């Protein structure tokens, strides 16, 4: 479950995510793809410093862990 999402200090919107199904990992999401809406702007960065920072706060129940990735 996504608790919070910030990109450069701005809240992410539902339109920033595109869901897809992975045979290995189940339900996954792509962030920042310009496939969902013509109004969506693709976020970019040209600096390898602090600009372009994606902050995610996630909550996963222990039964949702995939053991071979958690190692």
Looking at the chain, list the stretches that DSSP marks H as alpha helix, in order from N- to C-terminal side.
67-70
pTM of the model: 0.64
16: tokens are: 């920033």
Residues 2-44: tens digit of each pLDDT: 899 998 888 988 888 889 999 988 889 988 876 655 655 677 7
pLDDT at res. 3: 92
Closest CA to 5 of 60, 53, 64: 53
pLDDT at res. 59: 84
Q: Where are the domains of the chain?
A: 2-70
Q: How far apart, in whole angstroms, are the C-alpha atoms of residue 52 and residue 66?
A: 28
């Amino acid at each position: 479950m996504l608790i919070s999402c910030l990109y450069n200090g701005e809240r992410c919107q539902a339109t920033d995510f595109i869901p897809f199904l992975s045979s290995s990992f189940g339900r996954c999401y792509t962030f920042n793809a310009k496939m969902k809406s013509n109004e969506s702007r693709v976020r970019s960065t040209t600096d390898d410093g602090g600009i372009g920072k994606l902050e995610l706060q996630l909550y996963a129940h222990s039964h949702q862990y995939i053991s071979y990735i958690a190692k």
